[in-house]
Structure 1
Amino acid sequence: MEFYMKLPRNKKEMTIFIAIISVISVYIIAPLITCFEIGFNITVWGEAMRVVPFIWISVIIVVLLTHKPADWLTGKIIKKEDSFNAHIIVNTLCTVFLMSILLTIIGTWIGVGKITMEPIYNFFYKWPRNFAIAFAVEIFIAQPIARFVMKKMHEVQEKVVQNEC
């Protein structure tokens, strides 16, 4: 029942679900990582917010590229009969794992405004922190909010159907 109520059922709902998660994630993760890189002050935060729209576009592209590999990886780790929470946590873990690999490099390029080898040279120093931040934001903030919105949408849809009958 939780799968049915808390997850998207069609492409329109999937678009809403991805939009909610990606907007929340980008507006929290990008400034946080930038502040860890440069320093926690209002100027750094402002600079991070300036590039957020470009990061958001790259996040959407990376979500679309990593969705199927993350689902495949999730299927290798978890069984179909495992709990809803187990599926959500493992899928989030796999998705964030793949996305954080790409976005550790792409996000740096967007943030500094040029393509350099720096994020590749420093990948193994920066990726674990970026992964931890992204996973925490996804599992504790973005995903729960998006699932709550889906649940409320489905409850409203069910009430409309019941009223029509």
Structure 2
Amino acid sequence: MATSIDENILLTGFMGSGKTMIGEALAKKLNKPFADIDKIIENKEGMPIKDIFKNEGEAAFRAKEKKEITDYLHADNNAVISVGGGAFLQEETRDLCLQKATVVFLHISWDAWLDRMDMIVATRPVLHGKTISDIYKLYEERQAIYAHHHHSITVDYLDAEEASDKIIEVI
């Protein structure tokens, strides 16, 4: 796939890799709209993601996530889009993203992630009640789904400005 700044740029990666902050910075630099799929879902549902998980379960959330990603990509918004860390668990969603956007994987090393952990766990329902060992296992399992991308950058210890510059360089 030929990569172009003039198409959707979709950011994926493990929770806490900085998809939202980096996405906002990238969108500003490229003068594109920014869409955070999780925020769109929260606004439509009138509750945080963690409450959707608690009240309706992960399967219901994943269905909502798939619908919003699909709707957004088919609208051809030429935007920077951030998807949740688990969005690529759904093969159909992942394949659509790869067809309708330039997918950039924001890789964060386990050590760098651990340095951010305190800021991350409270807002990520999939981590609630998990031990460090459980989280590491999830981190390792998710790496396989993130292998599906057009470009990858390592975001360890980069701020949003530095990471967005790196994305522009690779695209």
TM-score per shorter chain, which class?
Answer: under 0.3
Give 1 or 2 for the bigger CA radius of gyration: 1
Q: From the two aligned structures, give the one with the greater strand fraction.
A: 2
TM-score (ref. length: structure 2): 0.26
TM-score (ref. length: structure 1): 0.27
